[in-house]
Amino acid sequence: MRILVTGGAGFIGSHLIDRLMTDGHEVICLDNFYTGHKRNILKWMNHPYFELIRHDITEPIRLECDRIYHLACPASPIHYQFNPVKTVKTNVVGTLNMLGLAKRVKARFLLASTSEVYGDPEVHPQVEEYRGNVNTIGIRSCYDEGKRIAETIAFDYHRQNDVDIRVARIFNTYGPRMLENDGRVVSNLVVQALKGIPLTVYGDGSQTRSFCYVSDLVEGLMRLMDGDYIGPVNLGNQDEYTILELASAVQNLIDPQAKLKFEPLPQDDPRRRRPDITRAKTFLNWEPKVPLSEGLKLTVNDFRARIPSPLKAEV
């Protein structure tokens, strides 16, 4: 099968490509390298079934494929807030372009949406029926509302043009190949600990997150694409941790003497975040397998290999 992955040189996209290539598919990686990196896909560069196209999805493109995994968009606050108008264009114009492509070539289309569509949720855990509590004019809105309209466009293409769609709402995902400067909590804490600087905790650290290891997420995306269920479906880990608990786990792995530094809570930062994955269990027969303790070790070792650090021993 000929499969297009937008954002394929990014963190999640490159892990997805690894699986698709290993399974024997032809893969086209589309990326503008704003947050993606060639090192993530280097091992496939000379493979006869792999093709890399440097392209920005806000511009149309014509090619042939059977399936489209649409992952292209900066996913960390630092990167998507750097150029919020571009983020909106990527989510709206880029998704329109990819859906238009899917319509023309009759490809199945999977949208990588996000738990951010729920905003700062008033329902816990978050179920797919929940419509969210999102600030339309905040500093996170370019991403949150961008993904919400991307879902709208996907379902409108499905209803109006019979495009075969799948919609995944991805919760916090972590693992090897995360960018050290992406501003997300796992990478922030790991990098700070490795560099021997205080670990930043926002607010009092009582806000919660649920962390899904990247291999589990990729498995969920592929099951959604291969199955008959359209979605939207939450993909994430149901285990819930406070940020202080995560910081403590990173301390124990890297440097038990690392200090904590408390900073003001960013605007619109969700207080609680945990997916209800009943739909994923029911329709995809999927749930995460990798516990945080194991996934953190693999993530830390990956960062150790990339970041100069006085703390070099593997965990």
Residue with tokens 């990819």: 98
> Are 109 and 165 within 8 A, CB to CB?
yes
Closest CA to 239 of 302, 298, 287: 287
> Are 103 and 95 within 8 A, CB to CB?
no
Number of other residues whose CB lies within 10 A of the CB of residue 270: 17
Q: Choosing from 69, 118, 143, 157, which is the catalytic residue?
A: 143
CA distances from 37 to 13, 59, 62, 74 (A): 11, 20, 23, 13
Active site annotation includes 157: no
The token pair at 231 is 């979605």
- H-type alpha helices, the chain: 11-22, 77-82, 84-89, 95-105, 141-161, 185-195, 214-226, 243-254, 278-279, 292-306
Q: Which residues are catalytic?
A: 143
